[in-house]
Structure 1
Amino acid sequence: MILLLLFMLTSTDMLALSDSSAGVSSETRIEESLSSGNLTVVQGETVMLVCTVLNLGDKSVSWVRLKDPNPQLMSLNNVTNSQNPRFRALVSDWKEFVLLVKNVKEEDAGLYQCQVSGPKHTSITRTVSLTVIEGNTEILDGPVIYVDPLSTLTLTCRVDFGHKTPEFLIWRKEDKILKFEGGEGMVEPYLEQDQQGRHLSHLHVKE
């Protein structure tokens, strides 16, 4: 007697089998290479804390600020849970969960944690540190500089943004732009720096 056994595979089983044979994990995980690490920003900038979650399934993603004595829930999925209008929750393709912070202030510094929670109360987390520094801009030998008539005046602006490079520098007199350095149209790839790593810009004023 010959027995013929038939195995019925559902589409879900076929997908799981295909993923397994291809070495693709179906487990929910935070993709660290596509998520934010520790960040340092200058006061007044906009920063995005990004948490990229793969294979989310029926789980939820939240951003929590780790503050003593009680942690503060900042967002849940695409819902903002802060009364501060500078904070906003954003979601892209239900994979990239972002906590956007506008006009960053010193008080925003600290630890933030991305939490992925499931219906069985299991969770995975990723913690990032946000450091906020105060940028400093000054004109050397200022604010009052004396110069002889008909001579050339060289003004030097020194910018200290920690280890960050300014996107651009603008010299302005009242409503007139005298010089623009940086941006996509920048001729030199890098701004000049002194030995302490502070960025320098020079403006030459004739007569």
Structure 2
Amino acid sequence: MQLRNDMDSYYTSDEVIYDPNGGDMEGNEDDEPIPEFDTNVPKNITAVIGKTAKLYCKVNNLGNKSISWLRHDNLHILTVGRYTYTSDSRFEPINPEGTNEWILRIRHAANEDSGVYECQISSQPVKSLFVNLRIVTPIASILGKNEMFVDVGSTINITCTVHHSPEPPTSIKWLHDSEPIDYTSMRGGVSVLTNKAETTVSSLIIQLATPKDGGQYSCQAGEDLKPAVVKVHVLNG
């Protein structure tokens, strides 16, 4: 049987029961199904800074055992069962009713939350499943220098990339001098090509550049993400 001493340490005590058929036996655990991890859960989690991170653990045949979440580097106990054992209220255990899921939810994720977490079954011996959490800050950037020089009549091609986003942004907005670009305007020749993948790439293409096309262009990949900016100069030959 596993006992806990305060918040951050463990000690164990063997519960021995007399066996009338001869000898001693340790509890009656041999008659119970053995708790096992369902390993079909993500072991590497990426979350955006300031957002909510969720770490998943599934256990079959839990029986009367309990589930704990710990920081693996310092063995600091975060949760036990449905209770939070840390003073940091951002950490919360979730066990949806009728499921074998034991989720560690971390609200307002911070850089210092990155690291290895341990989902632990209070069996004898203890069983552990490790999950790595990475906290990232999505970054939008425009390829090349922060100023671009093109000749009148040439093509302006501005490429924006979004890095460190756990999933592609729902949309990428292009602005010219802080105003949304109208791709259906009478000017014509303006288009956007976007490829959503691990790194999202969006290219703004403006054909037959005129002096009016000069100015500041920005790429916005979400409300929480700082836009990437480039200054375009259209030269008269």
TM-score range, shorter chain: 0.5 to 0.7
Q: Deviations over 1:98-146 (max 9, x none)?
A: 001234322111111101115xx54321112223344332123454445
Runs (4 or more) in structure 1 with deviation over 6 Å come to 148-151
Cα gap change, 1:60 to 1:168, in 2 (>3 Å): same
Structure 1 residue 106 corresponds to structure 2 residue 107 = no
Tell me, yes or no, if the aligned pair for 2:168 and 2:196 is still in contact at 8 Å.
no
Structure 1: give runs of 5+ residues left out of the alignment: 1-24, 180-187
Q: Deviations over 1:64-86 (max 9, x none)?
A: 11233xx2111122222333343
Q: Distance in 2 between matches of 1:44 and 1:149?
A: 44
Tell me, yes or no, if the aligned pair for 2:172 and 2:202 is still in contact at 8 Å.
no
Q: Distance in 1 between matches of 2:48 and 2:70?
A: 22
Partner-residue secondary structure (3-state), 1:168: coil
Quote the RMSD (CA, aligned, Å).
3.4
Q: What is the aligned-residue identity percentage?
A: 27
Task: Write 1 or 2 for the structure with the bigger share of helix.
Answer: 1
Tell me, yes or no, if the aligned pair for 1:171 and 1:178 is still in contact at 8 Å.
no
Partner-residue secondary structure (3-state), 2:112: helix
Larger Rg: 2
Q: How does 1:8-157 map to 2 (within 5 A)?
A: 26-33=33-40, 35-68=41-74, 71-92=75-96, 93-118=98-123, 122-141=125-144, 143-145=146-148, 153-157=156-160
Q: Deviations over 1:43-79 (max 9, x none)?
A: 34432111101111111111011233xx211112222
How far is the alpha carbon of 1:89 from its aligned partner? 1.4
May I ask how many residue pairs the two structures share in their alignment? 165
Partner-residue secondary structure (3-state), 1:89: strand
Tell me, yes or no, if the aligned pair for 1:140 and 1:156 is still in contact at 8 Å.
yes
Cα gap change, 1:177 to 1:78, in 2 (>3 Å): farther
Query: Where does residue 200 of structure 2 map in the other structure?
Result: 199
